Amino acid sequence: MNALSKHSSDATSTGSALAALNDWVASVAMRTRPDAIHWCDGSDSENDALVARMQADGTLLKLNEQTHPDSWLHRSDPDDVARVEHLTYVCTTHHEDAGPNNHWMAPDEAHAEMDALFDGCMQGRTMYVIPYCMGPIDSPLSRCGVEITDSPYVVANMRIMTRMGAAALARIEREGAFVKGLHSIGELDPNRRFIMHFPEELTIKSYGSGYGGNALLGKKCHALRIASHQARQEGWLAEHMLILGVENPQGETHYIAAAFPSACGKTNLAMLIPPAGYREAGWKVWTIGDDICWMRPGADGRLYAINPESGFFGVAPGTSEKSNPNALASIQSNTIYTNVGTTADNQPWWEGIDNGQQPATDWRGEAYDPAKRPAAHPNSRFTVSARRCPSYSPMAEDPQGVPISAIVFGGRRASLVPLVFEARDWTHGVLVGAAMGSETTAAATGAVGVMRRDPMAMKPFCGYNFADYFAHWLSFDTEGAKLPKVFHVNWFRKGNDGKFLWPGFGDNLRVLEWMIRRVEGGAGAVETPIGRLPAEADLNLEGLELSAEARAKLFGYDRAGWQAEFESIGEFLDEYGPRMPAALKAEQVRISGALA
């Protein structure tokens, strides 16, 4: 039997643990009316058949086999190139549980709206059933889901991004619990496009988009919006954070979790290559994950983290030998590219790749004309297994996770915010994360470069009221807890000439070293109302040429500017009304008073 024509009865048992799954699949099939149903097992043969089918119908285009073996290009609909936050809803019974940070719709209304869209939508298509596990398959921190989709492109990406197939189905059978995700590309009509989340039902419904975060339901939808709800109930944290390990010359490794908004350098930091002097001294950086982090308190009081994903869905533009050589090395083979340009000999190309090549065709498949559009869409992507990364850490598969020494928040701020500062304690750290601001990027639809509050980089992804979310964060500060130190960074401070003051990239390790020394108690800091800042002498700046303006702005703070900032922070907290934790508001008032 063809690997893509199996019916569900061939892939499931009659055991009671899978009865709910079988019933749900049957009910979805009855509504969507596909021509065939295929249960995905995650095998190589299945993937080969699926890729061959997509190559035949033009969904995937073969790239240069000599330069990029087993790699493919996908061009999405021009109106379907980013997350659609304005069409993304959290559907809780009570509106206030979703909070002002989410668009809300009553569950009954949302189900009715989506079920009408799904009616008959898979006629002429195959319905794929994707059992998947977010996190190592045998980790107690992992959670399972099943995505039903009519997009073979989604299947191919989910195979890379999750532990997909037979092993996940076996875990679902053992545990009897899973997140339900139903997706259809529909007609790819922007006017018939919604992404609905039902946290109380552990259910996701997505219609009308084939783009990453809208369609790969294990990613933002499950691993953040639904998982954040699960985490609050179960006593853990689901966060929009990279995880990296920094190994010092003595062979000791500290693990750091860092939250930045999309397209603000998470992947670059996660795959950081130390500057030459650090490498020669024996420093190493290990990559656990570049986007999502699930953290849970361990028996010793520390927070332990896993990366629930098994691949990278990274932003291509700007990725180069200079900015992120590890990412570039990762995507030389076995990669799915989405919405990049191509050279005359069919190599992938994007703005900022700086490899001496020139684009011939743009992301829409038209002859490249710089006056018309960039070669690659600003939010074009690559999907690749994390194991292909040269800095990939085998600890990424540790079922117990890695212990977190420091949590870092950071946004894209051209002014005001210094290079790095440390929070005084956990409550201050939660406020630092809650108040985080950043300039918007191309990862979401809408204007680019607008400063907005993006608490913990979770504004588009938190599945419930931010006030309750902040309270949940505060709840981890209990007797016996050994919580990470909290820091804030800003790689994007600009000078009067509009240029970045900090070199960034590998030199960011200089800042991470200071953090680790602070964790160990071996580095100095200057007390200020906004937190503890390093003096210039506290950082290893050897080999860097920083102007007087850079030194003043990177290591100092503008009292008047911060007075205005904390007034704005207070207004932001007040937007959440009486649910806002009193401790967080009191911390804002305390710091405002210290700045006066």
Half-sphere exposure (Cβ direction) of 96: Cα atoms closer than 13 Å? 8
Cβ atoms of 499 and 553 within 8 Å: the answer is: no
User: Where residue 446 falls among pLDDT bands split at 50, 70, 90?
Assistant: low
Question: Side chain identity at 73, as an amino acid letter?
Answer: L
**DSSP of 32-91:** H--SEEEE----HHHHHHHHHHHHHHTSSEE--TTTSTT-EEE---TT-SSB-GGGEEE-
Cβ atoms of 327 and 64 within 8 Å: the answer is: no
Give the integer Cα–Cα distance in Å for 244 and 346. 34
Give the integer Cα–Cα distance in Å for 585 and 589. 6
Q: Is residue 483 exposed (0-12), middle (13-18) or buried (19+ Cβ within 10 Å)?
A: middle
Smallest Cα–Cα separation from 59: which of 49, 70, 74? 74
State residue 443's pLDDT score: 62
Structure tokens at 130: 């994707």
Q: Is residue 583 exposed (0-12), middle (13-18) or buried (19+ Cβ within 10 Å)?
A: middle
More confident residue, 15 or 196: 196
Please name the residues in contact with 354: beta carbons below 8 A apart, sequence gap of 6 or more: 320, 321, 322
State residue 517's pLDDT score: 98
Q: What is the helix (H) or strand (E) element at residue 428, kind and residue range?
A: helix 426-434
Structure tokens at 77: 């609909």
Phi, psi (rounded to 5 degrees) for 277: -60, -40
Residue 1 pLDDT greater than 90, yes or no: no
Q: What is the pTM of this model?
A: 0.95
H-helix segments, 202-314:
212-215, 227-234, 266-270, 276-281
pLDDT digit string, tens, across residues 531-589: 999 999 999 999 999 999 999 999 999 999 999 999 999 999 999 999 999 999 999 99
Other C-beta atoms lying within 10 Å of the C-beta of residue 9: 11
- Of 248-252, 370-374, 389-393, 451-455, which range is least confident? 451-455
Cβ atoms of 376 and 316 within 8 Å: the answer is: yes
User: Where residue 442 falls among pLDDT bands split at 50, 70, 90?
Assistant: low
Residues in the chain: 596
Residue 444 pLDDT greater than 80, yes or no: no
State residue 9's pLDDT score: 36
Residue 264 annotated to the active site: yes
Please state the separation of Cα 29 from the chain's center in Å. 31
Instruction: Spot the catalytic one: 91, 144, 264, 293.
Output: 264
Name all domains of the chain by residue range, CATH numbers in brackets.
8-60+79-235 (3.40.449.10), 246-256+401-595 (3.90.228.20), 312-388 (2.170.8.10)
Average pLDDT over residues 7-32: 74
Smallest Cα–Cα separation from 268: which of 318, 224, 223? 318
Using N-to-C axis directions, what is the helix angle for 426-434 and 466-474, rounded to 10°? 160
Give the integer Cα–Cα distance in Å for 305 and 450. 32
Average pLDDT over residues 311-330: 95
User: Where residue 439 falls among pLDDT bands split at 50, 70, 90?
Assistant: confident
pLDDT digit string, tens, across residues 229-265: 999 999 999 999 999 999 999 999 999 999 998 778 8
Other C-beta atoms lying within 10 Å of the C-beta of residue 177: 13
Average pLDDT over residues 120-137: 98
Residue 485 pLDDT greater than 70, yes or no: yes
